């Protein structure tokens, strides 16, 4: 069964985007800032347009011969048992609080 990540990879091949350039990396970072700005302003109707850059991030991961699904699972395994304190809307890990 084809999943969304496979569809993204096929789309990239079709559009000759299998080599991500420095300019595209910079654009992904700009979009991350835009996502943050939109989130802070609670402008959810525009959020979908920003997340299209996530596709380029997936392609960058692929170019390093990493597997996005595995990376997401590994990241979740790191954070799933974390305890934290919310300090004025900022997530602070317990480990950082108690040093």
Share of the chain above pLDDT 90, in %: 0
Query: Domain check: are 56 and 81 in the same one?
Result: no
Phi/psi at 61 (5° precision):
-60, -45
| 45 band by pLDDT with thresholds 50, 70 and 90 | low
Span of 6-10, 40-44, 56-60, 78-82 with lowest mean pLDDT:
40-44
- Rounded Cα–Cα distance for residues 14 and 18 (Å): 9
2-34 residue pLDDT tens: 688 788 888 878 877 777 677 777 877 787 787
Higher-confidence residue: 1 or 84? 84
Query: Domain check: are 6 and 34 in the same one?
Result: yes
Above 60 in pLDDT, residue 1? no
Query: Domain check: are 50 and 78 in the same one?
Result: no
Query: Domain check: are 24 and 35 in the same one?
Result: yes
Query: Domain check: are 28 and 73 in the same one?
Result: no
What kind and span of H or E run contains 85? strand 84-87
Highest mean pLDDT pick, 18-22, 50-54, 55-59: 55-59
Query: Domain check: are 31 and 2 in the same one?
Result: yes
Helix (H, G, I), strand (E, B) or coil at 91: strand
- Rounded Cα–Cα distance for residues 64 and 82 (Å): 28
- Rounded Cα–Cα distance for residues 60 and 66 (Å): 9
Alpha carbon of 42 to those of 13, 82, 88: distances in Å? 35, 27, 17
Query: Domain check: are 52 and 76 in the same one?
Result: no
Give how many domains the chain has, as a whole number.
Answer: 2
Q: What's the domain range around 91?
A: 68-99
Query: Domain check: are 27 and 55 in the same one?
Result: yes
Query: Domain check: are 41 and 52 in the same one?
Result: yes
């Amino acid at each position: 069964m084809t999943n969304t990540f496979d569809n993204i990879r096929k789309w990239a091949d079709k559009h000759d985007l299998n080599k991500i350039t420095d300019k595209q990396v910079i654009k992904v970072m700009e979009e991350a800032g835009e996502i943050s700005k939109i989130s802070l302003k609670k402008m959810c109707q525009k959020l979908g347009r920003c997340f299209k850059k996530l596709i380029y991030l997936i392609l960058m991961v692929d170019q390093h011969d990493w597997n996005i699904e595995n990376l997401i699972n590994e990241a979740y395994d790191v954070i799933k048992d974390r305890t934290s304190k919310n300090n004025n809307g900022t997530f602070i890990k317990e480990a950082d609080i108690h040093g």
